[in-house]
């Protein structure tokens, strides 16, 4: 029988996203796929929502029924084998798409998100052109680049849906002053940040540079809180990353958030600084 976990692990969330994507691509309803597999009504739907974790054998049967073979089949079965494990570390670029699915599902399920981004802007706050400039600079092929940008823009829906996630972004000032893409890209990005800062569910605080030691110097992280599941800390780096739900680690990073907030500018001063940097860019537009 499938294990009931309420989808609390990041791997379980990534698995549910993979099953949902495969089923949608097959063009078959969850009810019909359950029938074909000889399972009870709605079982596949429970897998898609993360309410239950299917066994690797069930996943293999589903993939066969959906016509999935080769590397993709092995990848999803591997997710199912380890879906109940709380910690998740991936190393190397091949693991990042799976982990990205886990992050997307965490964003969808979270009631609140706090992200510390010292050098670049949080993904949920990026414009399409800003995200495209980063992807292009990293050397992604054009087809994958556009896929990443489309996904990035779709992820922002959690900020504007009917019941939006509460998002608190702690952003290093250097991220606002860096030259990502063209001057027009940075100007558009700053205008977008100012628009987002007006939303009740979004708080953007800027952390000045060269203010001495604080916990954020150790690197970026994201803290997800869920309505009915344990909180999770996510670390994402260039070619590796990890989800950590350990209670002691989560508490340590919750304290780190408080420390970073203490050295950050207040919300009004942060908005003022963003407007000043935008004004500076507009005035020196032709000098880049």
Cα 165 from Cα 160, distance rounded (Å): 8
Summarize pLDDT for 156-215 with one digit per residue, the tens: 999 999 999 999 999 999 999 999 999 999 999 999 999 999 999 999 999 999 999 999
Cβ distance 244 to 10 under 8 Å? Answer: no
Cβ distance 220 to 105 under 8 Å? Answer: no
Summarize pLDDT for 80-136 with one digit per residue, the tens: 887 777 655 554 444 445 667 778 878 888 899 999 999 999 999 999 999 999 988
**Between the ranges 63-67, 168-172, 243-247, 284-288, where is the mean pLDDT highest?**
168-172
**In the chain, what percentage of residues exceed pLDDT 70?**
90
CB burial of residue 230 (10 Å; 0-12, 13-18, 19+): middle
CATH topology of domain 10-81: 434 Repressor (Amino-terminal Domain) (1.10.260)
Which tokens in the block code for residue 34? 């359950």
Cβ distance 118 to 172 under 8 Å? Answer: yes
* Topology agreement, domain 10-81 and domain 88-287: no
Cα 257 from Cα 170, distance rounded (Å): 9
Cα 5 from Cα 125, distance rounded (Å): 31
In this structure, of 177-191, 205-219, 224-238, 245-259, the range with the lowest mean pLDDT score is: 224-238
Cβ distance 17 to 101 under 8 Å? Answer: yes
**In the chain, what percentage of residues exceed pLDDT 90?**
45
Give the residue-averaged pLDDT of 67-71.
83
| 88-287 CATH, one of 3.30.70, 3.10.450, 1.20.120, 3.30.870 | 3.30.870
Q: Could you tell me the residue ranges of all domains in the chain?
A: 10-81, 88-287
Quote the pTM value. 0.73
119 contact partners, CB below 8 Å, separation of at least 6: 172, 174, 175, 178, 220
pLDDT of residue 90: 54
- SS3 for 6? coil
pLDDT of residue 144: 79
Confidence of residue 8 (pLDDT cuts 50, 70, 90): low
Average pLDDT, the chain: 85
Pairing of strands 232-236, 221-225: antiparallel
Q: Which residue has the tokens 């996904």?
A: 151
Give the residue-averaged pLDDT of 21-31.
84
Cα 132 from Cα 172, distance rounded (Å): 21
Cα 209 from Cα 20, distance rounded (Å): 43
């Amino acid at each position: 029988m499938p294990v009931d976990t309420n989808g609390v692990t990041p791997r379980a969330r990534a698995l549910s996203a993979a099953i949902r994507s495969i089923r949608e691509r097959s063009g078959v309803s969850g009810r019909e796929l359950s029938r074909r597999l000889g399972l009870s009504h709605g079982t596949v739907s429970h897998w898609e929502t993360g309410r239950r974790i299917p066994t690797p054998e069930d996943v293999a049967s589903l993939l066969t029924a959906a016509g999935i073979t080769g590397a993709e089949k092995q990848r999803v079965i591997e997710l199912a084998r380890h879906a109940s494990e709380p910690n998740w570390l991936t190393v190397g670029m091949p693991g990042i798409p799976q982990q990205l699915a886990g992050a997307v599902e965490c964003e969808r399920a979270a009631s609140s998100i706090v992200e510390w981004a010292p050098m670049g802007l949080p993904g949920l706050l990026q414009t399409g052109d800003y995200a495209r400039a980063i992807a292009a600079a990293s050397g992604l092929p054009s087809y994958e680049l556009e896929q990443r940008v489309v996904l990035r823009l779709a992820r922002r829906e959690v900020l504007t849906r009917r019941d939006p996630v509460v998002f608190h972004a702690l952003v290093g000032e250097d991220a606002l002053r860096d030259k990502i893409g063209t001057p027009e890209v940075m100007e558009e990005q700053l205008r977008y940040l100012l628009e987002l800062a007006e939303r009740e569910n979004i708080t953007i605080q800027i952390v000045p540079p060269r203010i001495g030691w604080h916990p954020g110097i150790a690197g970026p992280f994201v803290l997800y809180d869920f309505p009915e599941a344990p909180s999770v800390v996510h670390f994402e780096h260039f070619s590796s990353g990890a989800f950590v739900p350990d209670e002691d680690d989560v508490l340590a990073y919750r304290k780190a958030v408080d420390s970073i907030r203490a050295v950050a500018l207040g919300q009004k001063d942060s908005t003022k600084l963003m407007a000043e940097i935008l004004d500076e860019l507009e005035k020196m537009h032709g000098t880049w």
